[in-house]
């Protein structure tokens, strides 16, 4: 797990121990899931690199991507199955459909640690998004 997460900011210091403990405690009778989200300027499901650049172009070119990641330990072998279901929607449509969505997204971007903003390709995205949304 530690090797896979090398590029993740603060993983070693903050997340390595709890993540490894979760894997150790995972039982076959109960799966675990989490959501992971980001903003991209591509709606493609296949995003093979973890290195992200900030979205560019118009807001209607941006996508909001959510991954539902599921872990399940198999009873017979003890192996852990990792599955991902990816959902992608137009960020413009989501922001237009709910004022709360846009304000909550801006808050999440504003309060994300700078190292995470850099890792996710969000540097400056909150300023761009705020400018686009207030200019409507």
DSSP calls for 64-82:
EEEEEEEEEE-TTT--EEE
Q: Is the pLDDT of residue 50 over 80?
A: no
What lies within 8 Å, CB to CB, of 120 at 6+ separation is 38, 39, 52, 112
The average pLDDT across 64-87 equals 96
Q: Is the pLDDT of residue 129 over 80?
A: yes
Say which residues have a Cβ less than 8 Å from residue 41's Cβ, sequence separation at least 6.
55, 56, 57, 61, 62, 63
pLDDT exceeds cutoff 90 at 88:
yes
- pTM for this prediction: 0.83
Q: Residue 60 pLDDT > 80, yes or no?
A: yes
């Amino acid at each position: 797990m530690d090797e896979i997460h090398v590029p993740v900011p603060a993983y070693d210091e903050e997340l390595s121990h709890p993540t490894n403990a979760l894997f150790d405690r995972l039982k076959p009778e109960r799966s675990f899931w989490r959501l992971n989200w980001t903003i991209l300027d591509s709606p493609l499901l296949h995003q093979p690199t973890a290195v992200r650049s900030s979205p560019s172009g118009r807001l209607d070119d941006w996508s909001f991507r959510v991954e539902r990641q599921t872990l399940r330990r198999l009873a017979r072998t003890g192996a852990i199955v990792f599955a991902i279901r990816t959902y992608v929607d137009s960020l413009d449509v989501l922001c237009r459909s709910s004022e709360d969505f846009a304000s909550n997204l801006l808050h999440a971007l504003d309060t994300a640690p700078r190292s995470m903003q850099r890792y996710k390709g969000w540097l400056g995205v909150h300023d761009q998004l705020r400018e686009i949304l207030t200019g409507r």
